[in-house]
Structure 1
Amino acid sequence: MDARLNFFTSPTAGKVLKQFMSVGKALKESALPAATQELVSLRVSQINGCAVCLDMHTKEAAAAGETSVRLALVAAWREATVFTEAERAALELAEEGTRVADGAGGVSDEVWERAAKHYDDDQLTALVLLVGFMNTANRMNIITQQPAGDYVAGQLH
């Protein structure tokens, strides 16, 4: 499969992607736990069907020590016992934040309150920004049909 567009050969994309990737780097350095970041990135990418981001974040999470069981169960986190209450709250917020166009009316107060019980304002800010960042990355990759499977952990970080 060939991509429709090579972002790295476009002068415009080069300028924008440099800034976009700096946002991703800042989020990685935030106070939001790294494991939570990877789980949220995976869940958002599962919902959107972004193979590139699924490839990247599965490999990054595994390289950081995440278990194969937890990685396999992200899609069914509600029924899985391997996630903490804080992770479950983050995944729930990520799902509602990703599915805003599905007619659910956005993130409910109950979902927000569950997340706010586990994360301080700085971490919540990082979580919200991560959900938005991942949705943007997913859409860019899906629109341009970026191929997946060749990512090497640590490649972009």
Structure 2
Amino acid sequence: MEKRINLFAKGQSAIKPLFEIGMHLKKSTLGHNLLELVFFRASQINGCAYCLDMHSKELRAAGEEEYRLYGLSSWRETPYYTQKERAALAWAEALTTCKVTDEVYNAVAAEFSDEEVIDLTIAITTINSWNRLNLAFPNTPGTYKVGMFG
């Protein structure tokens, strides 16, 4: 593979808004672990190895149980996730695959406030952007350190 642009060295001004969204989300009422689960699931769907490495490390550092990480790709078939997490994961899958239905929207709206649905939607669209950026301008999986980006 030919060497690609280092996004973090050359694209700082372009990606600054994504970091600002991340700062907004840290202040949201969604919670760190819920956001990280959603980020991890979207990254699984998108096949972003760097993001999978990052978000699995963040989840482990936050005390997430290993079995919940291992079962995330089949969350519908496991008893490990709360109803709120299930609604968030379904919403993440729907937005990531562009298959949003009224049923999935109603489920997420039943579990979250209007502001939280907006923040969750922004979080999902942001991780999808990061996934695509990391696929276009790859970082080496395994190099992420917990808290590296704030």
Normalising by the smaller structure, the TM-score range is: over 0.9
Query: d(CA) in 1 for partners of 2:2 and 2:131?
Result: 17
1:6 and 2:15 correspond: no
1:139 and 2:137 correspond: no
The residue that corresponds to 2:119 in the other structure is 126
- Give CA deviations for 1:132-151 in whole Å, capped at 9, x if unaligned: 00000000000122221111
- Give CA deviations for 1:40-59 in whole Å, capped at 9, x if unaligned: 00000000000111111100
RMSD: 1.4
% of aligned pairs identical? 40
Partner residue of 1:99 out of 76, 97, 100:
97
1:148 and 2:141 correspond: yes
The residue that corresponds to 1:103 in the other structure is none
CA deviation after TM superposition for structure 1 residue 82, in Å: 0.5
The residue that corresponds to 1:59 in the other structure is 57
The ranges of structure 1 where at least 4 consecutive aligned residues each deviate by more than 3 angstroms after the TM superposition are: none
The residue that corresponds to 2:44 in the other structure is 46
The residue that corresponds to 1:81 in the other structure is 79
**1:2–1:145: 8 Å Cα contact kept in structure 2?**
no
**2:7–2:137: 8 Å Cα contact kept in structure 1?**
no
TM-score, length-scaled by structure 2 = 0.94
**1:42–1:57: 8 Å Cα contact kept in structure 2?**
yes
- Give CA deviations for 1:112-152 in whole Å, capped at 9, x if unaligned: 11111110011111110011000000000001222211111
The residue that corresponds to 1:68 in the other structure is 66
Query: d(CA) in 1 for partners of 2:96 and 2:47?
Result: 12
TM-score, length-scaled by structure 1 = 0.90
**1:93–1:115: 8 Å Cα contact kept in structure 2?**
yes
Change (3 A) 1:33 1:3: farther
The residue that corresponds to 1:31 in the other structure is 29
CA deviation after TM superposition for structure 1 residue 61, in Å: 0.8
Aligned residues: 150
Query: d(CA) in 2 for partners of 1:145 and 1:17?
Result: 15
CA deviation after TM superposition for structure 1 residue 2, in Å: 8.1
Query: d(CA) in 1 for partners of 2:113 and 2:7?
Result: 36
Query: d(CA) in 2 for partners of 1:121 and 1:2?
Result: 45
CA deviation after TM superposition for structure 1 residue 18, in Å: 2.3
**1:45–1:135: 8 Å Cα contact kept in structure 2?**
yes
The residue that corresponds to 1:90 in the other structure is 88
